[in-house]
Amino acid sequence: MMEASRGVSLLLLVIIGCSLCLVCRAQIPIPARTDGFVYGGKPPTWGETVVIEAFNDPVCPDSRDAWPELKKVVEHYGSKVSLIVHLFPLPYHHYAFIASRSIHTVNKINSSFVFPLLEKFFKCQEDYYNQPTYKKPTAVVVDEITKNLVVPVIGKTSLPAYKAGFNDSWSDQATRISFKYGCARGVTGTPYFFVNGIPLNVSGSPLEYKYWTDIIDPLVTQKLRATPSGSFKNVLAEMA
């Protein structure tokens, strides 16, 4: 009897311990607005647009290599397809966080700076890989990024605003949220893609144009509205 009750209390302890673990899991900070940057001035319309989400690291070669085809695809579909880019600084790219933070900073100055700066990073990212920056102090690399990448995009007049914004804890927080947001969605590398919220199984490798059109063509051509002739049923049957 004694033995049995001891067994039961041990079991209870384990159960309570486990549920405490779950309760203690910290709430991810909820940003004031959904994370991500809308590409090409085409924000998604709920229930209308096919939405591609791309998680990119500005100093990741695969993110860079996948970008031109993705842009072409999104331009090809016009208003039917929206693209949201999330920044996902990978911890093993030492300057990924700083690069992402600088993109958040220019976004606050003027959102039209975001994609030009992301592309500038893609173009020059090799200078900011781990190896070439290994012996440089962080302050020097931050200055180089400011001078070589940021100023050509935002201009000298916005530089004081940029420097203040980059130092502000706000830009640090925004970048942390981008990272946590990706973690919460199960992102494990870059580039990582979702179409209408569903992850694609090809993360980390650049996708060819045809791969994209094979996925997107059937989606954009599907009719979603009921018609007077009652063909809504057929649409559902097709989808099943």
Ligand X SMILES: *[C@@H]1O[C@H](CO)[C@@H](O)[C@H](O)[C@H]1NC(C)=O
Q: Which residues bind ligand X (CB under 6 A)?
A: 110, 112, 163-164, 167, 201-202
- Is the CB of 110 or the CB of 196 nearer to ligand X? 110
Number of neighbours of residue 36 by Cβ within 10 angstroms:
17
State the minimum distance, in angstroms, from the CB of residue 102 to ligand X.
13
Number of neighbours of residue 125 by Cβ within 10 angstroms:
21
CA triple 175-39-220, angle to 5 deg = 125
* Cβ-Cβ contacts under 8 Å for 223 (sequence gap 6 or more): 231, 235
Contact 183, 109 (CB under 8 A): no
Please state, in angstroms and rounded to a whole number, the distance separating the CA atoms of residues 92 and 5: 50
- Is the CB of 27 or the CB of 169 nearer to ligand X? 169
State the minimum distance, in angstroms, from the CB of residue 79 to ligand X.
21
- Is the CB of 137 or the CB of 230 nearer to ligand X? 137
Inter-helix orientation angle 209-221/61-76, to 10°: 40
- Is the CB of 38 or the CB of 231 nearer to ligand X? 38
State the minimum distance, in angstroms, from the CB of residue 8 to ligand X.
46
- Is the CB of 148 or the CB of 234 nearer to ligand X? 148
State the minimum distance, in angstroms, from the CB of residue 17 to ligand X.
38
User: How many angstroms separate the Cα of 169 from the Cα of each of 11, 125, 138, 196?
Assistant: 45, 25, 17, 32
* Cβ-Cβ contacts under 8 Å for 181 (sequence gap 6 or more): 28, 31, 35, 86
- Is the CB of 117 or the CB of 125 nearer to ligand X? 117
State the minimum distance, in angstroms, from the CB of residue 5 to ligand X.
51
State the minimum distance, in angstroms, from the CB of residue 33 to ligand X.
17
Please state, in angstroms and rounded to a whole number, the distance separating the CA atoms of residues 111 and 196: 24
- Is the CB of 7 or the CB of 116 nearer to ligand X? 116
Q: Which residues of 175-199 are buried (b: 16+ CB within 10 A; e: fewer)?
A: bbbbbebbeebebebbbbbbbeeeb
Please state, in angstroms and rounded to a whole number, the distance separating the CA atoms of residues 239 and 231: 13
State the minimum distance, in angstroms, from the CB of residue 222 to ligand X.
18
